[in-house]
């Protein structure tokens, strides 16, 4: 069975809204409807890279979500979490209600040419002992 991993939708919520997430299986979670995610208008497809390494006999995952948007996203120093939807309908949760939280950085481009993109590039980086969890219903 082939899987289409292109990211077609990104949503965000404050990390504190994830206090009642349930973890019934390894690498999977159930997100409560009260989490109240807000959709981000972004250029499709976006990308997410997941790498891992072993430090002091512990596997550490680094997840890097990159997307371009015309929105001004201002977290107001509140920790955020992201829900990622792929083209095949699978959703993933990046972040949780405890530290370490994803860190959101932005890069604004003032292009020298009319043909270059002036969208803001956002990068959410999350380093934890777990990778983004698949959301199950």
- Domains of the chain, residue spans: 7-135
Which position has the higher pLDDT, 64 or 75? 64
At residue 137, the pLDDT reads: 81
Q: What is the pLDDT of residues 4-44, one digit of tens each?
A: 689 999 999 999 999 999 988 888 999 988 889 999 999 99
Residue 68: band (very low, low, confident or very high) from pLDDT cuts 50, 70, 90: very high
Among left, alpha and beta (phi > 0; psi -120 to 50; other), residue 56 is left
- Please say whether the beta carbons of 93 and 81 come within 8 A: yes
pLDDT at 77 over 50: yes
At residue 4, the pLDDT reads: 61
Integer Cα distance of 13 and 113 in angstroms: 35
Residue 1: band (very low, low, confident or very high) from pLDDT cuts 50, 70, 90: very low
Handedness of CA 131, 53, 107, 97 (dihedral sign): positive
- CB neighbours (10 Å) of residue 58? 8
For the whole model, what pTM was predicted?
Answer: 0.90
- Please say whether the beta carbons of 29 and 22 come within 8 A: yes
């Amino acid at each position: 069975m082939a899987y289409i991993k292109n990211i077609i939708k990104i949503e965000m919520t404050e990390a504190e809204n994830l206090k009642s997430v349930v973890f019934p299986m390894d690498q999977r979670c159930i997100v409560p409807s009260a989490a109240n995610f807000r959709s981000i208008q972004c250029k499709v497809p976006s990308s997410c890279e997941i790498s891992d390494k072993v430090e002091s006999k512990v596997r550490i995952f680094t997840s890097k979500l990159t997307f371009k948007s015309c929105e001004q996203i201002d977290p107001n120093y509140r920790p955020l979490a992201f829900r990622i939807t792929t083209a095949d309908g699978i959703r993933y949760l990046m972040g949780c209600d405890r530290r370490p939280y994803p860190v959101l950085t932005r890069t604004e481009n003032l292009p020298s040419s009319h043909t270059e993109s002036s969208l803001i590039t956002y990068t959410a980086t999350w380093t934890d002992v777990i990778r983004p969890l698949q959301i199950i219903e």
